[in-house]
Amino acid sequence: MLFSVNNAPNPQKTNTPQEADRIDRAIRLAVIAVIALSAVFIINMLSTRIFMPSSNYKNGIEAMQQGRYAEAMECLSAAGDYKDAVDQLARAKQLFANQLAGKENALFYTSEAMPWISVTGDGCVSFDNTRYENVWDRLPNAGTLLIPDVLDGILVTSIENKAFLNADKLTSVVLPDKVTVIPESCFYNAEALASVTLPASLQVISQRAFINCYELTSVVLPAGVREIGLRAFNNCYSLTSADLSACSGLTRLESFTFSECVELTTVSLPASLTFIGENAFISCDALKTVRFAGTKEQWDAIEIAAGNEALADAQIIFGGAQ
């Protein structure tokens, strides 16, 4: 059998000028698209890293200069680490806290930094005693609780009822300036509490506010206090002095106010007082001196209920004389 082998080369297909032109255009378009996408990416990066932080920084500084501190904080936070944005943000936070609190150098924190304190939208703080007990001995000032003027950007204006009930790790508490009321049973059974810094804004100490605060040694009430509730300082066994003399709007001491304050030796009372309730000073056998800001006539006009023999046995000094 004979075989025939064809060794002739296969003809190669060539593009027509029109096809070649289309391919060339497609390649050029692809290159242009890649360049355009690269440009968009670069512009976005520059905008994110340079232009936007710069703009946010500028807007934040302007807002801060105009007293719009909340807006300034938002802008400066968005500026990240551009220039000194971090320092300016801290300054804006301080100025914002000062603005809310109405004073210089207001104390402000976040609940993340102080997880044992939380705040509601209307400025009422509550206390988590369990969380505090877990860390109190590792804090810089163990046992001392600072309640900030501003928490989470919210002005603190009130304290929850029974907030510090049974908080026996507390030895010292500083209350913020805008608090006007110490609520019912606020420090009930805070047995180790020896010192409380009260704000000038305070107006009301509610019933049983400091009952069973065994280590409390003295109290000086600010001038604005006009109401002290039933048993407010009952069983404060270590209390040696109580100064109410500046409380010119205080007219009543309710029943059992200082009951069982067995170490109480000196009490100072305002001239405005017109009523002392039943057993307000019962078992205050150590009471030696009562300083009354008014006259003897005003003292004699006070209605003093039964159970206050300690007052009758004490020396009454009138007119705030020493």
Domains and CATH numbers, the chain: 20-101 (no CATH), 108-318 (3.80.10.10)
Q: What is the pLDDT of residues 264-313, one digit of tens each?
A: 999 999 999 999 999 999 999 999 999 999 999 999 999 999 999 999 99
Name the token pair of 291.
């300083």
First and final C-alpha spacing in the chain: 146
Name the token pair of 119.
């705040």
Across all residues in the chain, what is the average pLDDT? 89
Return the higher-pLDDT residue of 52 and 190: 190
**Lowest model confidence (mean pLDDT) among 29-38, 81-90, 166-175, 220-229:** 29-38
- pLDDT above 70 (res 14): no
Local confidence band at 46 (pLDDT 50, 70, 90 cut-offs): very low
Local confidence band at 19 (pLDDT 50, 70, 90 cut-offs): low
Question: What gap in Å lies between CA 227 and CA 280, rounded to an integer?
Answer: 14
Q: What is the pLDDT of residue 64?
A: 86
Name the token pair of 92.
């804006």
Q: Element (H or E) spanning 18, and its range?
A: helix 17-46
CB 287 within 8 A of CB 312: no
Name the token pair of 266.
């000196």
Local confidence band at 5 (pLDDT 50, 70, 90 cut-offs): very low
> With the CA atoms of 162, 164, 168 and 172 taken in that order, what torsion angle do they form, in degrees rounded to the nearest 10?
-140
Local confidence band at 80 (pLDDT 50, 70, 90 cut-offs): confident
Q: What is the pLDDT of residues 150-192, one digit of tens each?
A: 999 999 999 999 999 999 999 999 999 999 999 999 999 999 9
Task: Tell me the C-alpha to C-alpha distance, in Å, between residue 262 and each of 128, 141, 235.
Answer: 32, 30, 8
* Largest pairwise CA distance in the chain: 153
- pLDDT above 70 (res 3): no
